[in-house]
Structure 1
Amino acid sequence: MSDALVECVPNFSEGRNAVIVESIVSAMAVEGVSLLDWSLDSDHNRSVVTIVGPPAGVLESAVRGAGRAAELIDLTSQRGVHPRIGAADVIPFVPVQGISLDQCALLARQAGQQIWSRYGVPVYFYEAATARPDRVLLEEVRRGQFEGLREAVKKETARQPDVGGPDLHPTAGASAVGARRFLIAYNLYLDIPDVAVARAIAKEIRQSGGGLTGVKAMGVLAHGRAQISMNITDFMRTPVGKVYAMVKYKAARYGASVTEGELIGLIPEAAIERDSEWMRLFKEFDSDSRIIERRLERPLSWPASLPAGSGLR
């Protein structure tokens, strides 16, 4: 696997303190691993980092990020509209080239073992990394969030972590570590603040509600507007344009309009539909920084390590 490339997209439960997030990203710097993207969302109180590199380097980078997050993020005081069970909430490994999904699943399991042994944060495996049917879906692993899961593991052995535990880490919770294909994180904003409408639309369009294949969705209030926050897990079967058209149609039935689109992280070239209506709704879209194949050619510089007392917890 000398030419193998793996993507990892850790999601951290901090989106309001840029100093903390920068410290986490800085800790992830490993030789041979490229930083492709990192962003914060204050309403979701969440940050998303995208890295690519050889399997061993990406594993080490992700594990270091989880350790730094456990040190700096306290879930007992963290609040946001996005569900979470851990400081390093979700850590998915994604095959890019020269590596299979099964090999990424093995990488995920190795990462999970190291997160527990090095930092004392228990781990749940999901999607291709799990052997348990009840843990394939991330939303099932995160059911009850940190607060509910913290109590559930004390009473239900079926809810206890795959690695470590049985109790969650008192402030860092647990991490969900998995392996999956490319995922597109796509948000749409409505011209109304009524979050009930966004939740109704999300329920109707997501696969679990009988909607679109490979679509997960939730309705939230973000930046004072109703938002449908979505993950498109199979954009070849369900293109972004189809998702947008369905949300637009559903919104109209509630007397609302879609006013803006938003990407979180990167998008594959194959998912792009230039001059389409859904792409025109982005406030800005720079192909070199948003398309993963192009970003691979021009990765970001890693942020410098921060000195002690730089606004960290």
Structure 2
Amino acid sequence: MPCFVYGPERTLPDIRRDAFTVLQPDHGVSDPHPTAGAMAVGARLPLIAYNVWLADPDLSLARAVARKIRSPNLRTLGLQVGHRVQVSMNLIAPEVVDPATATDAVAEHAEVAGCELVGLLPRAVLGRIPPERWGELGLAEDRTIEAQLERR
């Protein structure tokens, strides 16, 4: 099975785009497996999966906002979910772009209807956001990685 390694020097999008053309696997055979393709293994700091729901259900607006705010530290897509749309985001470097910063970036281009943390976030990231914004941003102390580990 071909295996690509990703991290700070090479991102997962780099591998998806360039596998078997520009990039050769770091381990295993040099051709894709006939049914499984290849695997990618990475080690990185935690990222935050985060969605911002828009008040306007226009998918083209969500996609336009996603394009405008996208950066190396913020991967974005405009998606439709049922009759609603969202800017779906991966905060790759949450110490640079946290949920508050990402939400504010969306709000510069569209009315925000709500926010959704997908999974957990590091307590240090939550600690940099004013507590009075946590409710608006869909954040809470019990949604931190550390709070979940302390419960065990």
TM over 0.5, shorter chain: yes
> How far, CA to CA, are the matches of 2:80 and 2:27 in structure 1?
34
Contact kept, 8 Å, 1:261 with 1:279, in 2: the verdict is no
Percent identity among equivalent residues? 40
Specify the structure having the higher radius of gyration (Cα). 1
> How far, CA to CA, are the matches of 1:169 and 1:183 in structure 2?
29
Aligned partner of residue 67 in structure 2, secondary structure: helix
Aligned pairs for 1:148-167 within 5 A: 153=20, 156=21, 158-167=22-31
Q: 1:250 to 1:176 in 2, by over 3 A?
A: same
In structure 2, runs of 5+ residues without a counterpart are none
Once the two structures are superposed, what CA deviation does each residue of 1:283-305 show, in whole Å capped at 9, x if it has no partner? xx5633x2111111124xxxxxx
In structure 1, runs of 5+ residues without a counterpart are 1-119, 209-213, 252-256, 300-313
Is structure 2 residue 34 aligned with structure 1 residue 199? no
Aligned pairs for 1:19-168 within 5 A: 120=1, 122-128=2-8, 133=9, 136-143=10-17, 153=20, 156=21, 158-168=22-32
Aligned partner of residue 57 in structure 2, secondary structure: coil
Once the two structures are superposed, what CA deviation does each residue of 1:78-114 show, in whole Å capped at 9, x if it has no partner? xxxxxxxxxxxxxxxxxxxxxxxxxxxxxxxxxxxxx
TM, length-normalised to structure 2: 0.82
- Which letter does structure 1 place at the counterpart of 2:112? V
Aligned partner of residue 26 in structure 2, secondary structure: coil
Q: Which has the higher helix share?
A: 1
Contact kept, 8 Å, 1:199 with 1:219, in 2: the verdict is yes
Contact kept, 8 Å, 1:202 with 1:218, in 2: the verdict is yes
> How far, CA to CA, are the matches of 2:140 and 2:97 in structure 1?
23
Q: 1:279 to 1:177 in 2, by over 3 A?
A: farther
Give the aligned partner of residue 188 of structure 1: 52
Is structure 2 residue 127 aligned with structure 1 residue 280? no
- Which letter does structure 1 place at the counterpart of 2:100? G
- Which letter does structure 1 place at the counterpart of 2:69? I
- Which letter does structure 2 place at the counterpart of 1:168? P
